[in-house]
């Protein structure tokens, strides 16, 4: 069936959908995208609460945390494990990959839906099952897994060391669900972009957001397989007493480290790529300029995807890895910074001489660049084996890690939400609340993690439940307290967005069809787009996505398709 025929059928049957088929078990890519967005928001509440407990215990050890109680050392380990797992697999991936890929890819390439709508629905519900399994592990005998979010054996491979068995099994199953779901989703996004593009949507007319979402899917697809196999082996060790990772049974603990980090470092780029795509599209719109170096960016992205698979061992310089491998992995780690540096340069070049409009989505992207650059530069230290000897396992790593992931997830992700919210819901978000949300998030994020660079360089080791036990860490109590207060304020700031969301959905003004006068296809669709997106006629693409400010033209923008009303 062609997309046009499918459109006639779907348009005719839209009114027959029940509440269950429309909102719960939907096969519409837009609704599934919103489901992923809602799930990530709910899990962010869990993950944020865990972050509050971690920071409270570090700053005020052996003092009951408000709304929780005393954070004992065993609880501290479990909380760290849950926080990391939730924020990476059930907040970052749904929010930055699944949500925008579902909502935007078909709209931006002129398709009616995903290539495999039922598989798309299944990918969400598999993620949902994983989230339920992870949260339910809090309530089982023995409590949740307490082996750290990276799951290093032997702590995670046997209940002998932590006293946790059922919780460990649930954690592994939740991890497997997240990996399988994202693999199925990534396959769907790739097939959709390859086969369902609108007439005239050639590869060199695809917007950057779509390219980077596809790069994210490819990066994940080829890195997740080893970790899925590792999760199966870990499950066997915990549930059936095998010894894949237990030395006493002939196993090799470092095998898990290799399997995890072969996935884990590309996962950083899985979350970073979408934020870059959002940033480039938003910058082009609010500078009224074409993206600088479109093809150069694509070549650099492909290089980064390839290099992402040969850098993982820089996480293992202190693990007993053969020292002869330190130099080649240090080299590849430095090399992968080159394509990203070129992409960032292209983003700044896009700003040059632009007719810049300082609107809210654009400012979120500026915040993303300003904070991510700190994370990128500090990563150079950790990529050097000689420096990593001193910094590995300290709060310097915690600061670096959050300066890479937080900007992508929050600044890049919120930039996308504020930008595409009018298209998603047909309403405008309150701009004053939005500016307040941005300003406070920027201030309190830096207040939380900037002090940790100094704490880490002073030698304070992470994952210590009671720093007061060590006299050499007493000097950092003031900085830790400042970081904790900032973290609490950062978490509280997100209530502003939730209030803005509720207020705007119920009382916000109606949004224009194309409020930013943007070129890309999604702005031609109604706001919000109907089932099937385009009605009976597909858009026919006649121009590139970034033809802004063309000399001799009466207006400074040119929609990609002109056969549909703008």
Query: Each residue of 121-136: pLDDT tens digit?
Result: 999 999 999 999 999 9
In a domain, 467, yes or no: yes
| pLDDT of amino acid 11 | 46
| pLDDT of amino acid 12 | 43
Which range, of 75-79, 273-277, 320-324, averages the lowest pLDDT? Answer: 320-324
Query: Each residue of 392-439: pLDDT tens digit?
Result: 999 999 999 999 999 999 999 999 999 999 999 999 999 999 999 999
| pLDDT of amino acid 496 | 97
* Average pLDDT score over residue span 113-123: 95
Helices (H) and strands (E) in the chain, counts: 19, 0
* CA-to-CA separations, 129 to 91, 135, 237, 280, in angstroms, rounded: 14, 10, 22, 34
Burial of 36 (0-12, 13-18, 19+ CB in 10 A): buried
In a domain, 544, yes or no: no
Model confidence at 23: pLDDT above 80: yes
Taking Cα atoms as reference points, which of 363, 532, 453 lies closest to residue 7?
532
**What's the pLDDT band for 100 if we cut at 50, 70, 90?**
very high
Mean pLDDT of the chain: 92
**What's the pLDDT band for 16 if we cut at 50, 70, 90?**
low
In a domain, 547, yes or no: no
DSSP 315: G
Tell me the percentage of the chain whose pLDDT exceeds 90: 81
Which range, of 270-274, 347-351, 554-558, averages the lowest pLDDT? Answer: 554-558
**What's the pLDDT band for 555 if we cut at 50, 70, 90?**
confident
Q: List the domain range (segments joined by +) for residue 106.
A: 21-523
* Average pLDDT score over residue span 256-260: 94
Tell me the two tokens of residue 423. Answer: 């298209």
Peptide bond into 283 cis (omega under 30): no
Burial of 347 (0-12, 13-18, 19+ CB in 10 A): buried
Which DSSP string corresponds to 233-266? HHHHHHHH---SS-GGGT--HHHHHHHHHHHHHH
Q: Are 529 and 423 in contact (CB under 8 A)?
A: yes
Q: Are 181 and 127 in contact (CB under 8 A)?
A: yes
| pLDDT of amino acid 13 | 46
Bridge partners (DSSP) of residue 65 are 69
Question: In whole angstroms, what is the distance from residue 263 CA to residue 442 CA?
Answer: 30
Residue in this structure with the two tokens 């230290």, named with its chain if needed: 381
What domain count does the chain have? Answer: 1
Phi and psi based region of residue 333 (left: phi greater than 0; alpha: psi -120 to 50; beta: remaining)? alpha
Which DSSP string corresponds to 27-59? --HHHHHHHHHHHHHHHHHHHHHHHHHHHHHHH
Q: Are 463 and 80 in contact (CB under 8 A)?
A: yes
Question: In whole angstroms, what is the distance from residue 528 CA to residue 427 CA?
Answer: 9
In a domain, 1, yes or no: no
Burial of 397 (0-12, 13-18, 19+ CB in 10 A): buried
Q: Are 98 and 127 in contact (CB under 8 A)?
A: yes
Which range, of 76-80, 178-182, 208-212, 557-561, averages the lowest pLDDT? Answer: 557-561
Model confidence at 7: pLDDT above 70: no
Which range, of 15-19, 429-433, 442-446, 530-534, averages the lowest pLDDT? Answer: 15-19
Question: In whole angstroms, what is the distance from residue 96 CA to residue 212 CA?
Answer: 11
Query: Each residue of 213-237: pLDDT tens digit?
Result: 999 999 999 999 999 999 999 999 9
Burial of 15 (0-12, 13-18, 19+ CB in 10 A): exposed
**What's the pLDDT band for 287 if we cut at 50, 70, 90?**
very high
CATH number for the domain harbouring residue 357: 1.20.210.10
Model confidence at 1: pLDDT above 50: no
In a domain, 473, yes or no: yes
In a domain, 338, yes or no: yes
In a domain, 180, yes or no: yes
Peptide bond into 528 cis (omega under 30): yes
Query: Each residue of 30-49: pLDDT tens digit?
Result: 999 999 999 999 999 999 99
Which DSSP string corresponds to 183-238? HHHHHHHHHHHHH-PPTT--GGGS-HHHHHHHHHHHHHHHHHHHHHHHHHHHHHHH
Question: In whole angstroms, what is the distance from residue 424 CA to residue 103 CA?
Answer: 8
How many CB atoms are located within 10 Å of the residue 565 CB?
8
In a domain, 8, yes or no: no
């Amino acid at each position: 069936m062609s997309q046009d025929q499918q459109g006639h059928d779907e348009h005719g049957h839209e009114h027959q959908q029940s509440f269950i088929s429309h909102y719960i078990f939907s096969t519409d890519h837009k609704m599934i995208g919103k489901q992923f967005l809602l799930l990530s928001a709910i899990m962010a509440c869990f993950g944020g609460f865990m972050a509050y407990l971690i920071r409270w215990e570090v700053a005020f050890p052996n003092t009951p945390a408000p709304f929780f109680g005393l954070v004992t050392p065993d609880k501290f380990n479990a909380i760290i494990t849950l926080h990391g797992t939730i924020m990476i697999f059930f907040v970052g991936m749904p929010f930055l990959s699944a949500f925008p890929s579902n909502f935007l890819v078909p709209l931006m390439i002129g398709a009616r839906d995903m290539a495999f709508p039922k598989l798309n629905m299944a990918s969400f519900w598999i993620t949902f099952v994983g989230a339920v399994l992870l949260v339910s592990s809090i309530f089982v005998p023995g409590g949740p897994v307490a082996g750290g979010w990276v799951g290093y054996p032997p702590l995670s491979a046997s209940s002998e060391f932590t006293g946790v068995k059922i919780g460990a099994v649930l954690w592994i199953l939740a991890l497997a669900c997240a990996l399988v779901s994202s693999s199925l989703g990534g396959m769907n996004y790739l097939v959709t972009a390859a086969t369902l593009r609108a007439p005239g949507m050639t590869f060199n007319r695809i917007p950057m957001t779509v390219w980077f979402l596809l790069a994210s899917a490819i990066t994940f697809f080829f890195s997740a397989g080893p970790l899925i196999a590792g999760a199966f082996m870990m499950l066997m060790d915990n549930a059936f007493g095998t010894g894949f990772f237990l030395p006493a049974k002939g196993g090799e603990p470092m095998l898990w480290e290799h399997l995890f980090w072969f996935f884990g470092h590309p996962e950083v780029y899985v979350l970073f790529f979408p934020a870059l795509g959002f940033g480039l599209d938003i910058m082009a719109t609010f500078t009224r300029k074409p993206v600088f170096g479109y093809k150069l960016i694509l070549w650099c992205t492909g290089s980064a995807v390839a290099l992402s698979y040969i850098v993982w061992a820089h996480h293992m310089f202190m693990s007993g890895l053969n020292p002869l491998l330190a130099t080649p992995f240090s080299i590849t780690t430095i090399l992968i910074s080159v394509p990203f540096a070129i992409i960032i340069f292209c983003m700044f070049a896009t700003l040059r001489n632009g007719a810049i409009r300082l609107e809210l989505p654009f400012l979120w992207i500026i915040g993303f660049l300003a904070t991510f650059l700190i994370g990128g530069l500090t990563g150079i230290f950790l990529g050097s084996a000689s420096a990593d000897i001193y910094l590995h396992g300290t709060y310097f790593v915690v600061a670096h890690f959050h300066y890479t992931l937080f900007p992508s997830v929050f600044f890049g992700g919120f930039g996308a939400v504020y930008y595409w919210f009018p298209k998603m819901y047909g309403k405008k978000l309150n701009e004053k609340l939005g500016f307040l949300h941005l300003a406070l998030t920027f201030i309190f994020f830096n207040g939380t993690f900037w002090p940790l660079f100094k704490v880490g360089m002073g030698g304070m080791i992470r994952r210590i439940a009671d720093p007061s036990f060590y006299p050499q860490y007493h000097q950092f109590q003031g900085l830790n307290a400042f970081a904790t207060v900032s973290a609490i304020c950062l978490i509280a700031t997100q209530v502003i967005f939730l209030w803005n969301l509720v207020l705007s959905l119920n009382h916000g003004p109606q949004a224009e069809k194309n409020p930013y006068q943007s070129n890309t296809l999604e702005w031609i669709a109604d706001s919000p787009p109907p089932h099937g997106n385009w009605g009976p006629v597909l858009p026919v693409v006649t121009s590139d996505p970034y033809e802004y400010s063309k000399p001799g033209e009466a207006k400074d923008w040119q929609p990609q398709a002109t056969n549909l009303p703008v």
